Structure 1
Amino acid sequence: MSESSVVNEVQEARESHLKDVREAASTLARRFDLAYWRTCDKEEKYPWEFVNAFAKAGWMGILMPEEYGGMGLGLSEAAVMLNEIAAAGAGMSGASAVHFYVFPPQPILRHGSEAMKQRYLPLLARGELLMAFGVTEPTSGVDTSRIRTKAERRGDRWVINGQKVWTTNAQNAKKILLLARTSPRDEKRPLDGMTLFFADLDRKHCDVRVIDKLGRAAVDSNEVFIEGLEVADEDVVGEVGKGFHYLLDGLNPERIVVGMEAIGIGRAALKLAVDYANTRVVFDRPIGKNQAVAHPLAENWIRLEAAELMALRAAALYDARKSCGAEANAAKFLGADAGFRACDQAMQTHGGFAYAKEYHIERLWREVRLLRLAPISQEMVLNFVSNKVLGLPKSY
């Protein structure tokens, strides 16, 4: 058998496997209809029924090794799963609820002690432990080196004081993966001296205040004010002072997956728009017969397909342990852009009805808009590509 034949067989097997993952995730996600997500959004209700269904099916452990109770699959499978969740109409309300079981634990998996892994990873894989993620601070913005949350050593324990913002899940989480400074900022090595703690989210020492925000109301975002929170040495992730570098391991996977989530939301909106354009009759003809309606929707389909190809390419590179920084950033940029364009065009297609919540477009539009800002802005992606890929002078 020729080398090209072997490569083709491997590629076909991979595509068949991803198709199986896609179909299984889609089938489960579509058990929860659009009305369910509208209710979760309106009532700001955490989607526990949805989360528990995915946990029972084992999906929360998709990236966990089998020795810790997981599926032992790769980023490609996780990206496809989350894409299907979003495309089923769950949007970020569903995708985020699963995302935060799958990705925030990765520093523990990669850098935690064996005792920490044995204690927590099986719980996370089964969906029995909800965790929050505390990195962002109101005064530091995208310059994480300037965080002010500090952890001081006192005997065999650490005492943490500070503030975090946009902390997802903190209303219900029992644990928080918390980044704090353990030594002063050094201008020569500003990203050193920060440590990751897998701390108890102790309400006696953590004042958690929900943020009233534009979209994804079903999954809470919070300010967390920390005063005198004690953490044992055994809950330090990896080495003291290297916490930010551990987070860097997760930047590319998260960007790839966020791009796929945005693509899924765009596809959900596109389907609603196409269905509407085929059935809405104005001037004795379906509005989809007008090129002014049809052509933008066709362009949305093209952009979404192209964005997914980039995202899957980036995921395949990551799974093969190859460099994927440029592709991961491009996947996030293209996915967020294509997803937002599709939701915005779906609004335009529905006209005034898009403002009515019964049509579901406005929820998807609100949720996808976030992904042009987070976890990294489109402008920061362009900064990376212009400097790291094209070799242009650094502009920030």
Structure 2
Amino acid sequence: MLLKSISPCLSASSHLPAVASQWRTVLQRPRSFSVSCRRPIMEMSGFTPEQVMVREAVSKICSNFPDEYWAERDESGEYPHELHASLAKDGWIGIALPEELGGAGLGISEATMMLHTISESGAGIAGAQSVHANVYATQPVAKFASPAQRQKMLPKLIKGEWRACFGITEPSTGLETLKLRTTAKRDGDFYKISGQKIWISSAQVAQKMVLLARTTPLKEITRPSKELSLFFIDFDKTAPGLDLRRIKKMGGRAIDANEIFFDNYRVPADSLIGAEGQGFEIVLHGMNAERCLLAGEALGIGYAALKRATEYARERVVFGRPIGQNQAIQHPLAAAYMNLEAAKLATYHAARLYDENSKDSSITQYAVGVACNSAKYLAAEAAFTACEQAVLAHGGMGYAQEYHVERYLRESLVPRIAPVSKEMILNFVGEKVLGLPRSY
């Protein structure tokens, strides 16, 4: 069922076959494009054939979900089940998962393009977040789980029969991941989980959770990074020991955010991924991937806002001339475009390093971390600026829901805050790259 959608910009004879190996063969053939397709704001030069095909096919799916659909979901808080189902039907949930499990076997570069495209379609961060965790939270599972675990845990996620959420953040520790307090205590063939997680997206609709928990008590730790373990657990909201509470939030309301309480919640011992104490090292594999994906989502909403702003600036006439003719409108939008383009280069450079790290020994994990954090920071800032300028370009109508840019602005705050704040990225670069004293 992999990647069957086609873009209206492709020739009528172009298609995407159901098998990934066949799909790659198609990518090597010359392709024709319709000249009727309007040139997009984002420059597409330099992308790989795979990335271009991902963009075209996902754009076709997203065309069935216009801005009005997302405005309604933002008002109602209803989860976008239809988009998730459409993406799962064509194999997109498993874009970066192994082919032998039903995935596409592609990389984070292509997954970043997918989430970028979803966001840019008008779905924004909310639309992208409907599949976000299923893409990045499964990366550590695919890499570090046993073959039997992978076969048990991933195919139904790829098919869209299951959804997963990612349980790391806690209210008492925030960004201090090594100080997590949620515990997983071994009890025969089970672990008993107790503790609290917060800001867990899609937990209301998830059947599974990728969970980071402490298997060595804080008072007994000898090396903080060796005391956490990773689990892939059943997330049964009817089982004893699990309490789920939804958080009301500013934007992206179609995707639920939650506070979760565990009280001796029992999970099978074979839910453990890797060995006890390896969880932090394992989860870092997913964290760098998430920074790339969120950078792509930020780019998407930034370009979407810029597109709406430039269209409005061309059409809105005041004092006998379109407002886009005035440099006070034109120059901030032009600067926003260049910032997005620069962040785009950083984002896809980081994604490429992430993908090639396992194949090229000259690409260190340090280089990947620096690139992924930098990309997330730059894309988040560029997106926020583009969304802010889009609202201002609309004047008073930018404050009106019908023009959608106010929704984009609200959602553009997410990449500036999560999964790591811009201040912590600045701390990381200051210390690790510039060699300055640790500031926190």
Task: State the Cα deviation string for residues 139-172 of structure 1 (Å, max 9, x = none).
Answer: 0010012111111111221111111100111111
Q: Please, which of 364, 367, 389 is the counterpart of residue 433 of structure 2? A: 389
- Aligned partner of 2:10 in structure 1 is none
- Aligned partner of 2:308 in structure 1 is 272
- The alignment status of 1:287 with 2:323, answered yes or no, reads yes
* Counterpart code for 1:340: F
- Aligned partner of 1:3 in structure 2 is none
- Aligned partner of 1:300 in structure 2 is 336
- Aligned partner of 1:354 in structure 2 is 398
1:15 shift after superposition: 2.2
Instruction: Report the secondary structure of 1:249's partner residue.
Output: helix
Question: For structure 1, which segment, 113-122 or 332-341, has the greater mean C-alpha deviation from structure 2 after superposition?
Answer: 113-122
- Aligned partner of 1:335 in structure 2 is 379
Q: 1:320 to 1:171 in 2, by over 3 A?
A: same
- Aligned partner of 1:97 in structure 2 is 130
Contact 1:202–1:229 (CA<8 Å) still a contact in 2? no
- The alignment status of 1:129 with 2:173, answered yes or no, reads no
Q: What CA distance in whole angstroms lies between the structure 1 residues aligned with 2:372 and 2:233?
A: 30
Q: Please, which of 155, 160, 180 is the counterpart of residue 213 of structure 2? A: 180
Q: 1:152 to 1:17 in 2, by over 3 A?
A: closer
* Counterpart code for 2:66: D
Contact 2:186–2:269 (CA<8 Å) still a contact in 1? no
Counterparts of residues 10-25 of structure 1 (less than 5 Å): 15-25=48-58
- Aligned partner of 1:200 in structure 2 is 234
- The alignment status of 1:81 with 2:125, answered yes or no, reads no
Q: 1:15 to 1:202 in 2, by over 3 A?
A: closer
Q: What CA distance in whole angstroms lies between the structure 2 residues aligned with 1:172 and 1:256?
A: 24
Task: State the Cα deviation string for residues 214-256 of structure 1 (Å, max 9, x = none).
Answer: 1110000000011121011111111112111111112222112
Task: State the Cα deviation string for residues 170-189 of structure 1 (Å, max 9, x = none).
Answer: 11111111111111235651
Q: What CA distance in whole angstroms lies between the structure 1 residues aligned with 2:113 and 2:406?
A: 24
What is the aligned length?
385
* Counterpart code for 1:27: K
- Aligned partner of 2:100 in structure 1 is 67
- The alignment status of 1:189 with 2:233, answered yes or no, reads no
Q: What CA distance in whole angstroms lies between the structure 2 residues aligned with 1:252 and 1:103?
A: 9
Contact 2:340–2:382 (CA<8 Å) still a contact in 1? yes
Contact 2:139–2:286 (CA<8 Å) still a contact in 1? yes
- The alignment status of 1:217 with 2:253, answered yes or no, reads yes
1:281 shift after superposition: 1.2
* Counterpart code for 2:417: L
- Aligned partner of 2:151 in structure 1 is 118
Unaligned runs of 5+ in 1: 1-11
Q: What CA distance in whole angstroms lies between the structure 2 residues aligned with 1:137 and 1:143?
A: 9
Counterparts of residues 242-281 of structure 1 (less than 5 Å): 242-281=278-317
Task: State the Cα deviation string for residues 81-109 of structure 1 (Å, max 9, x = none).
Answer: 11111111100111111212211111211
1:79 shift after superposition: 0.7
Task: State the Cα deviation string for residues 333-355 of structure 1 (Å, max 9, x = none).
Answer: 11000000000000111111111
TM-score by length of 1: 0.94
Question: For structure 1, which segment, 264-273 or 102-111, has the greater mean C-alpha deviation from structure 2 after superposition?
Answer: 102-111
- Aligned partner of 1:57 in structure 2 is 90
Question: For structure 1, which segment, 100-109 or 295-304, has the greater mean C-alpha deviation from structure 2 after superposition?
Answer: 100-109
1:16 shift after superposition: 2.6
- Aligned partner of 1:344 in structure 2 is 388
Q: Please, which of 405, 408, 414 is the counterpart of residue 364 of structure 1? A: 408
- Aligned partner of 1:311 in structure 2 is 347
Q: What CA distance in whole angstroms lies between the structure 2 residues aligned with 1:188 and 1:119?
A: 34
Task: State the Cα deviation string for residues 56-102 of structure 1 (Å, max 9, x = none).
Answer: 11110101110000000011111111111111110011111121221
1:327 shift after superposition: 1.4
Unaligned runs of 5+ in 2: 1-44, 358-362
Q: Please, which of 181, 200, 203 is the counterpart of residue 148 of structure 1? A: 181
- Aligned partner of 1:9 in structure 2 is none
Q: What CA distance in whole angstroms lies between the structure 2 residues aligned with 1:109 and 1:339?
A: 31
* Counterpart code for 2:292: I
Instruction: Report the secondary structure of 1:171's partner residue.
Output: coil
Contact 1:101–1:127 (CA<8 Å) still a contact in 2? no
Percent of residue pairs identical = 48
1:50 shift after superposition: 0.7
* Counterpart code for 2:108: L
1:116 shift after superposition: 1.3
Q: What CA distance in whole angstroms lies between the structure 1 residues aligned with 2:250 and 2:217?
A: 36
* Counterpart code for 2:288: N
Instruction: Report the secondary structure of 2:439's partner residue.
Output: coil
Q: What CA distance in whole angstroms lies between the structure 2 residues aligned with 1:95 and 1:14?
A: 21
TM-score by length of 2: 0.85
1:202 shift after superposition: 2.5
Contact 1:197–1:231 (CA<8 Å) still a contact in 2? no
Task: Please list every run of at least 4 consecutive aligned residues from structure 1 whose deviation after the TM superposition is greater than 4 angstroms.
Answer: none
1:381 shift after superposition: 0.9
Q: What CA distance in whole angstroms lies between the structure 2 residues aligned with 1:187 and 1:179?
A: 16
Contact 2:126–2:253 (CA<8 Å) still a contact in 1? yes
Instruction: Report the secondary structure of 1:35's partner residue.
Output: helix
Instruction: Report the secondary structure of 1:167's partner residue.
Output: strand
